[in-house]
Structures are given as C-alpha cells and as structure tokens.
Chains A and B, each alone.
Chain A
C-alpha cells in the first residue's frame, strides 16, 4: 500500500490527523488507563491540541482523561512517566518536538532508565507525541530531533508518514510496555503539505475494522532494482516523487519507509541493499550524527561487499532553520537534492 497509488473509488481515505484521532479514541475506549495529558489539548473553545488532533475527544471522554497542564514540559513529562510507572498508559503531547529539550532529564534519565534500574520490575508505558518538521516556523519550531532519541537505550522511536501506518503504529505504541516517542511531520497531518510533497495525495486508505501495525517493522513503499532509498516524513514523499522521475531515465528505485528508528528493522534494509547494491538515505534531521549515519554504519558493517557505490546521505544542512522560504528550502532535503543523490549513487 503506497501513498503514491491512485485512490480506489469508494475506499475510506483519512488524513494522518484523522487516523491519529481515531487510534486514540479506540484505545481510550479499549482501556480506561489510557489518558491524554498536555498543553491546550482539551480547553473548551481551545485548539484540540496544537494541530487539532484531539478535536471532539473531550466531548466523549471528559476532562478526567484529557488533562490540560500548565506550560510546564518537565512537569507534564514527569507526570506521564510517574503515572505510567503506576500502571496507567498516558499519551502526553508536547505541541512541538522542539520542546522535548525542556524535559530531557525526564525522558532520558527517568523514562528510559526506570525499567533497567529496577531490574525489570517497573515499566514506563507511554506514548509521547512529537510534531516535527519545517513549515516556515524557524529555528525553534521546526526541528526534526528524532536522532537525539535514537541514541537512548530504553526508548523507542517511531516516525509515521501516512495515515494507515500512523493509526496502526499508534495503537501498537499505546499497548507497548516501553516509552515510545512518536514523531509526526506537521506538513503531513492534513493536505497542506501536498504541494511540497510533489502533489501526492497525502491521505491513505484506513480500513474501518481494527488493526495494528508492529513497532520495529519497515515497509517497502515502492519496489525497485537499481537503488535502495530509505526516507521518512517529507523526505519519503520527495523520494517517491524523485523515483517517478528517475524511472523515466531507467533508474528503478526501491523506496523504504523505516517507520521505526529504534528498534530499527535492519533486515528489511539489508535485504534490499543486497538486491540493489546501492543505498541513499534521506531525512529532514540534520546530517551530522543523524540516524542516517547510524544506518550507513550498519549497512557498511553487514553489507559492504554488496555495495557497488558509496552510500549517500541527504539531510538538512548543519545549520539552525531559517524562516524565509527560499532559505528554508535550501536547508531541508528537496526533491531535487534527493534526485541528484540517487543519480550520483547510481553512477558508480
């Protein structure tokens, strides 16, 4: 099922925001221990969360289970962690992933380590929703900081890019006994990012019946023989668009959405690289120390003799994010940069 596929007439298609809302509602109905906690999530007449994902949920579940907090990220993260330690299953919301740095101690020193320090006696089952991505919001409201957390044993890191997997993964994350950071791209919630995604339909088929998608499993979004392209979020759609263009030049791209960055589904990537002999990695997180570097290292360790060309990475340049669109587009991986990297990888 790829987003690049043409919609089938009559099938139910949802945006990511709608799919996330449906997943949360289902899980809250399923288990009374699931609750939402965050800033501006349930205030009457408010926003329903910074990106409207919670609209309508307060009416069904009430303020006992949709808890508005002060602007106090350490407290809300700590409250979620503590409640999870006591057997609840909180879904804290931070509005912007940039604000994760306000509660790094809670996430890295507490949430990630409580199971280990207690010798496995405690669990921290929570799902922290983190909107990422550039959208002309500048240096402090547009970062993709997922790689920081890929470095933290004890956390799980998910990046969703389409409605089907967003729903299935969020449901799995809520039922997971470990803390999960759930990164969603702001331009992919609705249809706003459609133009930047090469005009692709950003809705996806979401079945009416309940389903789960497992954490730790990548999906092949486009099969191909010439080169493996691993990409998340907007970079995934730009890679798919680039792949369509390159197909006309005889370059047959296999495009993979890893979906989970920690634990990483290495086997799907290794199998693809062994088939194509070439690897391009694209992400909106910055280049140095980004998760693409980790993936490149693992492929080099396990598949070096399958490679026919050097691995190429396309990432945001190593600068803070500017606001002016012309500069922002220079920093983040564009379709043109991804296309050029694939071409270069296929030259060797």
Chain B
C-alpha cells in the first residue's frame, strides 16, 4: 500500500475506498450490512405475525460494527456476542438458513432450537452461542484468548459487548486479566448510548468507554461505528495487534440502534430529533453513496435483490423445517446421559 493510501487520501473514482478496501470488497461489505438490515426488518415483521417464538433484540443501525469487525477476522478466529446477536452471527458467517430456522425454533436451526434469538451462534464458524447475560462474554472470552496463547495458534477472539456492560464487574475483570496475560483479544464495545432505556451518561461519568483502557494498561480507540470503512480500518489495526501478541485492545464503536431495545419498545426515553440525527448517519446509506461513485447503480440494486432472494429462501426454509422432537429437550445437558433427575 502506498503512503498516500495509508493516509486515507484515496483518489475519487480509483475504485479504492480505503487502503484495505477496494470497490469489490466494499460491495461485499454493503451486501452483508444490507443482509443484516433486511434480516432484522423481515424477522420483526414475521415476529409480529406470530411466526416466531420468544423475543427479539434487533440491531438496525449497528450493522457497520458487526460487519466491519468480522471482516477483519479469519474464519478460524472466534467471537462472543450478546443478547443482540443477529448481526454478529451473519457477519461471522453463520449460515443464513440455519440462523433463520433457529429464530423460528426449528430443528434445522444452528442450535437445534435450544438457543433461539438470544443464543444464536455456531462453533463451526467461530461463534459461541451468544451470551445474553450483560458482560457474560467479557470473562469467557479471556479463556478463548488464553487457549490460543497456550496452544500457540495465531487465532484472535473478539468480544462484542454494549456500553452497558462496561459497568459490570465482568468487563473490568476480563480486561485486566486479558491485559496481564497479553491475550489476543479485541474487546469491541458497541456504544449505542442506551442500556435498554437508560442513557449512558446517567450511569457513567466517563463518556467514552475506550478511556477505561488506560486503567488496565491497554490501548483504547474510538471509532465512528456508523462508518463501516472506518470500523474496518480500526478493526484491522486492533486485530493485527492482538494477533501479534500486543493485545488486548479496547475498541469503542459509537453507534445507534434504530429500533427499540426489544420488541414492543416505543422508545419514549429518547427524542425523535436525536433519532433523525443518527438516521442521517445510516451506515448502509453512507456506504451506498460511496459505492455509487464508482459502481453502476444497477449493481447495487442487483445486490439488494439478491439479499431479498436469499431472505425469501431462508424464511421459506425455516417455515418448512420440522419442529424439534420434544424429547430432544432432554439431551445435551451433559456429554453422556446421566441417570436420575427427571421428574415423573
């Protein structure tokens, strides 16, 4: 890469969006963000129509974080996720049909119907079942990093968590332990300003989670989480540092969830003006504008159509899939079936 490119002064029309991302790559980032956006929107519709059990935590608006960070990872790297995991799962490569079927509670789901929306994950693509306890992943991820270090692999683990988790003891214990052990971990904070309905400024006098890195002797960085190219660039740096043994890194992505905390949230705790301001920074709209400068508009429209077709297929797959067998509820608590403990 040239020094010019490194400085970010990319020639308009050159086809290069950043030093690391050319137009083809950019189109792929766009596809994956659009897939997440439309997944969330369509799933919500079918949820309201009564097709899906349970609850939903949607991530519209936060797509650039999931996609930008996972794009900097290898298939052999791992992530931990949160109660809002759909975007992380699709970005890390969980099969679309299997993810959809899991939300539908079907046997073909990536967790066989045992996980559901809040525990979406698939070890085969490097994603633990999402951990829906706030801060829960922040300590478990240290073990992933420790195993990579002990086994002398060059794998990296990313822990996604919200700004709300930074007030949990787990955040501090996990970051400190990872720091003293120099573990190959990126702690990726999705700061969407609200823990459920509670604004972050009400629960922390430190406005930027990244500044907490100083307390643990690690590097912290703040990035615009509404710009997938910026996230990709920062993630590339953080992941490279972690892989080289210079981690962990605390990467804070400033973002916003366009939807409520969970289904049925009418968002009475934030102003419509604030929502409009953030909507104007929609990461998909922004990347589409960047790409439109070099790509034919038809290419982007085709991509949108492909995403809809893939979702049509996944939804149909989920609908047609068999329900889990009721008796499968009693398997997989242990490696081998143990006697006793079943109520009559």
Interchain CB contact under 8 A, A123 and B335? yes
Tell me, yes or no, whether A323 is within 8 Å of chain B by CB.
Answer: no
* B328 to chain A: closest residue by CB: A119
Contacts of B174 in A (CB 8 A): 74-75, 78
Q: Interface size (B, Cβ < 8 Å)?
A: 50
Quick one: which of B83-113 are within 8 Å of A by CB? Answer: 110-113
Instruction: Say whether B195 faces chain A, with CB atoms less than 8 Å apart.
Output: no
Whether A40 is near chain B, meaning CB under 8 Å from some CB there, is no
Q: Check A136 for interface membership: any CB of B closer than 8 A.
A: no
**A154→B139 contact, CB < 8 A:** no
Give Cα distance in the complex from A178 to B146, angstroms. Answer: 19
Whether B143 lies near A82 (C-beta < 8 A) is yes
Please pick, from B78, B136, B340, the residue contacting A109 in the complex, using a CB distance under 8 A.
B136
The answer to whether the Cβ of A77 comes within 8 Å of any Cβ in the partner chain is: yes
Q: Given the known inter-chain contacts A69-B177, A85-B128, please indicate yes or no for A115 contacting B334, CB distance below 8 A.
A: yes
Question: Would you call B128 and A72 a contact (CB within 8 A)?
Answer: no
> A residues within 8 A CB of B340?
263-264, 266, 298
The 0/1 profile, CB within 8 Å of B marked 1, for residues 142-162 of chain A is 000000000001101000000
Give the complex CA separation of A97 and B294 in angstroms: 63
- The answer to whether B48 has its CB under 8 Å from any CB of chain A is no
Residues of chain B lying within 8 A (CB to CB) of residue A78: 138-143, 170, 173-174, 177
Interchain nearest-CB distance for A264 vs B (Å): 6
Determine whether the beta carbon of B136 is less than 8 Å from that of A116: no
A83-B150, A106-B140 as given contacts; A114 in contact with B128, CB under 8 Å: yes
Q: Hey, what's the 0/1 contact readout for B326-338 against A, CB within 8 Å counting as 1?
A: 0000011111101
Q: Which residues of B contact A110 (CB under 8 A)?
A: 131, 133, 136, 140
A105-B146 contact, Cβ under 8 Å, with A117-B119, A119-B112: no
The answer to whether B121 and A118 have CB atoms under 8 Å apart is: yes
- Interface contact A154-B333, CB-CB below 8 Å: yes
Contact flag A85-B144 (CB < 8 Å), given A35-B150, A79-B139, A115-B335: yes
Contact B133 A84 (CB under 8 A): no
Closest to B157 in A: A82
Out of A87, A105, A119, A154, name the residue touching B334 (CB < 8 Å): A154
Looking at A67, A110, A154, the one whose CB has the most chain B CB atoms below 10 A away is A110
The answer to whether B164 has its CB under 8 Å from any CB of chain A is: no
Which residues on B sit within 8 Å (CB–CB) of A348?
none
Asked if B139 and A106 make an inter-chain contact with CB atoms under 8 angstroms apart, the answer reads: yes
User: Quick check: is A251 within 8 A (CB to CB) of the other chain?
Assistant: no
With an 8 A cutoff between CB atoms, is B123 at the interface? yes
- B341 touching A117, Cβ below 8 Å: no
B217 interface residue, CB < 8 Å from A? no
Assess whether B177 is in contact with A70, with CB atoms less than 8 Å apart: yes
Q: How far is the CA of A35 from the CA of B144 in the complex (A)?
A: 14
Complex interface: chain A residues within 8 A of B338 (CB): 216, 263
A103 CA to B135 CA, complexed, in Å:
12
A182 → B minimal CB distance (Å):
16
Q: Is the CB of A83 within 8 A of B123?
A: no
Query: Which partner residue on chain A sits nearest B113 by CB separation?
Result: A119
A98 interfacial contact with B, CB 8 Å: no
- Report the interface size for chain A: residues with CB under 8 A from the other chain: 53
Contact with A along B150-178 (1 / 0, CB 8 A): 11000001000000000001100110110
Which A residues are CB-close (under 8 A) to B331? 120
Contacts of A120 in B (CB 8 A): 112, 331-332
The smallest C-beta distance from A85 to any residue of chain B, in angstroms, reads 7
Residues of A within 8 A of B145 (CB): 82
Separation of A54 and B148 alpha carbons in the complex (Å): 25
Q: B282 → chain A, closest Cβ, in Å?
A: 33
Of B143, B145, B180, B333, chain A has the most CB atoms within 10 Å of the CB of: B143
Q: How far is the CB of A140 from chain B (nearest CB, A)?
A: 18
CA–CA, A48 to B102, complex, Å? 47
Q: Is B147 in contact with A83, judged by CB distance below 8 angstroms?
A: yes
Cβ distance A12 to chain B, nearest Cβ, rounded Å: 33
Closest to B138 in A: A78
Q: A88 at the A/B interface (Cβ < 8 Å)?
A: yes
Q: Which of B129, B144, B150, B176 contacts A75 (CB 8 A)?
A: B176
Which B residues lie within 8 Å of A65 (CB)? 150
Instruction: Find out whether the CB atom of B146 lies under 8 angstroms from the CB atom of A72.
Output: no
Give chain B residues whose Cβ lies under 8 Å from the Cβ of A69. 177
Q: Contacts of B143 on A, CB cut-off 8 Å?
A: 78-86, 88, 90
- A76 within 8 A of partner (CB): yes
Within 8 Å CB of A200, what residues of B?
none
Cross-chain pairs A/B with CB under 8 angstroms, 7 sampled:
A65-B150, A81-B143, A85-B147, A117-B129, A119-B112, A120-B331, A263-B338
- In the A-B complex, list the 6 residue pairs whose CB atoms are closest, starting with the nearest: A82-B143, A78-B139, A86-B147, A119-B112, A75-B177, A263-B338
Interface residues of B (CB under 8 A from A): 78, 110-115, 119, 121-124, 128-129, 131, 133, 136, 138-148, 150-151, 157, 169-170, 173-174, 176-177, 180-181, 331-336, 338-341, 344
Given contacts A119-B332, A301-B344, 7 further A-B contacts (CB under 8 A): A80-B143, A82-B144, A82-B157, A103-B139, A109-B136, A118-B121, A176-B335
